[in-house]
Amino acid sequence: MTATNVNGTATERPPVFSVDGLWKVFGPKAGRVPADPELTALTPAELRSRTGCTAAVRDVSFDVRKGEVFVVMGLSGSGKSTLVRCLTRLIEPTAGSIAIDGEDVRAMDKSRLRELRRHRAAMVFQHFGLLPHRTVLDNVAYGLEVQGVGRAERRERAAAVVAKVGLEGLEHRRPGQLSGGQRQRVGLARALAVDPEVLLFDEPFSALDPLIRRDMQEEVVRLHREEGRTMVFITHDLQEALKLGDRIALMRDGRVVQLGTPEEIVGSPADDYVRAFVRDVPREQVLTVRTAMRPAADADEAGTGPAVRPEATVSEAIEAVARAGSAARVMDGGRCLGVVDAGDLLGVVAGTAVPEERPEGAAVLPGEAELPKEAV
């Protein structure tokens, strides 16, 4: 179900994953930790010394909505991998609930779980996990083979996906004859071949050199734009998170300290930790003119000046204002939502403008999210 708020943005798309009160505690008698308020109040170090347990995921709740790129970001050890592995029970949660399309993941038996991992939520790993003696085509077809798809059909489907990720002509090479970036494309193609509802990426690009990494990020943006597939993407890299994420869950010590759009995270950090995290991000490339605009002073101001879209970045609006030498109008269709002048825009760059809060749970439409992300 999609509702539309006053800004014309979708506030709700159906959740694919719904996670509620999730805990993963490693260590002896882990199960007692989530239920004991005295233990849950301890810092990670205190908990470790008192009980020998590590709470890798602490009381985390969120939805991954259909068609979004949901990024889980945080420093090393913050709990990202554990959280995402819990989604398909590659790691068994200690407490809380997880549902996929409304179905209780924690209640699934072995065969249902296998089905979940093979068909519904495919994982792309950092270390590819390719079979060294098989060709690119056979590696990509492997997931289909496991599903019992016949040889002719799986080769045909694999060939189509190989082309989609830009590996045409390399079908008959073995992984050892490919570069790191090409191998990662094979890993991506293999996950895509089974046509899963959700793709889960576990830091897939962190071992790649920066240029190839950027190529792969663009590949993900392109695939997402073309297919609209739901994606959960783990990264410790803020730039990557801002570039790819429709929404970002920022983790620290097992908790989600902020969950929001790139614009919300950069424009309204929830606490000092998040503020420090995003301090060096060029705000004008992430924040949109929605944040900077004010009502038009009069009919003259509402009727003249260059037009910018509400989802244009502040940086783009600065260009328009500088070129025209006057305030710009923020236009949604034929409607003037507000205006931005040089002072409003500079306020955002300087960090003195307080961004307008979006309604709770407000989503950003893919088209709306693209601009700020790609401008980063």
Ligand X SMILES: Nc1ncnc2c1ncn2[C@@H]1O[C@H](COP(=O)(O)OP(=O)(O)OP(=O)(O)O)[C@@H](O)[C@H]1O
> Can you give the binding site for ligand X, defined by CB under 6 A?
26, 54, 56, 74, 76-82, 236
At closest approach, how far in Å is the CB of 374 from ligand X? 25
Helix (H) or strand (E) holding 318: helix 314-324
| Strand-by-strand arrangement of the 95-100 sheet | 54-65, 15-26, 95-100, 103-104
Helix (H) or strand (E) holding 184: helix 180-193
At closest approach, how far in Å is the CB of 74 from ligand X? 5
CA gap 7, 147 in Å, rounded: 44
CB-wise, 87 or 320, nearer to ligand X?
87
Report which DSSP code applies to 20.
E
What is the torsion angle, in degrees rounded to the nearest 10, for the CA atoms of residue 349, residue 353, residue 359 and residue 361? Answer: 40
At closest approach, how far in Å is the CB of 247 from ligand X? 18
CB-wise, 58 or 157, nearer to ligand X?
58
Supply 87's token pair. 């989604």
What SS3 state is found at 282? coil
CA gap 139, 127 in Å, rounded: 14
CB-wise, 9 or 78, nearer to ligand X?
78
What is the torsion angle, in degrees rounded to the nearest 10, for the CA atoms of residue 116, residue 121, residue 124 and residue 125? Answer: -50
The one-letter code for the residue type at 224 is H
CB-wise, 74 or 245, nearer to ligand X?
74
Report which DSSP code applies to 199.
E
At closest approach, how far in Å is the CB of 253 from ligand X? 8
At closest approach, how far in Å is the CB of 92 from ligand X? 11
CB-wise, 77 or 181, nearer to ligand X?
77
CA gap 297, 99 in Å, rounded: 49
Residue written as token pair 């945080």: 74
At closest approach, how far in Å is the CB of 236 from ligand X? 5
At closest approach, how far in Å is the CB of 54 from ligand X? 4
CB-wise, 53 or 327, nearer to ligand X?
53
CB-wise, 77 or 366, nearer to ligand X?
77
| CA quadruple 343, 349, 353, 355: dihedral sign | positive
